[in-house]
């Protein structure tokens, strides 16, 4: 779907041209075809400036700008993995150019997109869909104060462990000597039961697999002391 303002072309004859360029990558002059062309004039302006605000680990508010005078909209939310321009109606919205889904609709660790369209009514009908806008909830342990508790293991059999997901995570205020871009960290905490503990990040998957991990001491998130930072996924915390 492609849309463009045609105000400047009013009362003019215009042409649509499809240009095919073959770089012979497939080994020769490959054929091409364009069909099912549908040209629709819409007088109902679509929303602009899509964003997500007030994002937490449980919900987010989807916000947009109404470019004209519509007071009704429809919103469609879907996982990024199955994103597609909606073909049916969305969830009706009648409040302040924004929509907050019911608690429990969205799941931390999942990438979402949303589309929105204006409902102008009458002969103007609906606008075309605006979007997609991509967003994700914050993890529950996005900040130090909500760190996930991990029980230590009495031996080298790692029967106690915790899962983590940095999707939607944000930068924390605590200082660190770790490299990389400090914009997506999550927190765990443990009580040392020995003077040394092995720390392992196992089964790391996804688009970001080169992770640093830092170990801090202290119980006050505003006054932690960094003991070290490790780029390898395995490290030993000594002198605990």
Predicted model pTM = 0.81
Interval 96-131: pLDDT, tens: 899 999 999 999 989 999 999 999 999 999 999 999
The span from the CA of 140 to the CA of 60, in Å, is 14
Residue-wise pLDDT tens digits, 16-39: 888 877 766 666 666 777 888 877
DSSP 129: P
Lowest-pLDDT range of 23-32, 185-194, 227-236:
23-32
Strand partners, 130: 116
Across 134-155, average pLDDT: 96
CB distance 64 to 49 below 8 Å? yes
Q: Count CB-CB contacts under 10 A for residue 109.
A: 17
Tokens read off for 151: 């029980």
Confidence of residue 236 (pLDDT cuts 50, 70, 90): very high
Please compute the mean of the pLDDT values over residues 163-187 and round it to a whole number.
94
């Amino acid at each position: 779907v492609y849309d463009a303002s045609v105000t400047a072309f009013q009362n003019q004859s215009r042409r649509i041209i499809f240009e095919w360029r073959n770089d012979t990558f497939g080994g020769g002059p490959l054929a091409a075809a364009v069909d099912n062309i549908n040209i629709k004039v819409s007088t109902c302006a679509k929303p602009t400036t899509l964003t997500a605000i007030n994002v937490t680990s449980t919900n987010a508010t989807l916000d947009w700008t109404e470019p004209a005078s519509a007071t009704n909209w429809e919103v469609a939310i879907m996982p990024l993995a199955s994103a597609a321009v909606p073909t049916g109606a969305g969830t009706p919205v009648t409040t302040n150019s924004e929509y907050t889904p019911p608690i429990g609709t969205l799941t931390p660790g999942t990438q979402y997109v949303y589309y929105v369209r204006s409902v102008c009514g009458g002969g103007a009908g609906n606008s075309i869909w605006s979007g997609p806008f991509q967003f994700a909830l914050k993890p529950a342990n996005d900040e130090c104060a909500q760190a996930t508790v991990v029980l230590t293991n009495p031996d080298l059999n790692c029967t106690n462990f915790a899962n983590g997901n940095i999707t939607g995570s944000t930068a924390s205020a605590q200082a660190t000597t770790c490299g990389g871009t400090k914009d997506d960290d999550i927190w765990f905490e443990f009580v040392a039961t020995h003077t040394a503990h092995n720390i392992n990040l196992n089964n790391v998957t996804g688009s970001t697999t080169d992770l640093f991990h830092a170990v801090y001491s202290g119980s006050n998130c505003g006054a932690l002391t960094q003991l070290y930072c490790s780029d390898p996924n395995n490290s030993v915390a000594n002198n605990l």
